[in-house]
Amino acid sequence: MITLAAESHSLTVSLYESYFRHSFAFWDIWMAFLESKGASLSGDQKAAWNALGATFNEECQSHLATLGLPHV
Long-range contacts of 22-30 (CB under 8 A, 24+ apart): 23/53, 23/57, 24/50, 24/53, 24/54, 26/53, 27/52, 27/53
pLDDT of residue 48: 95
Integer Rg of the chain from CA:
16
Grouped pLDDT means (10 residues each) for the chain, 72 residues: 49 56 76 96 95 92 95 86
pLDDT at 3: 44
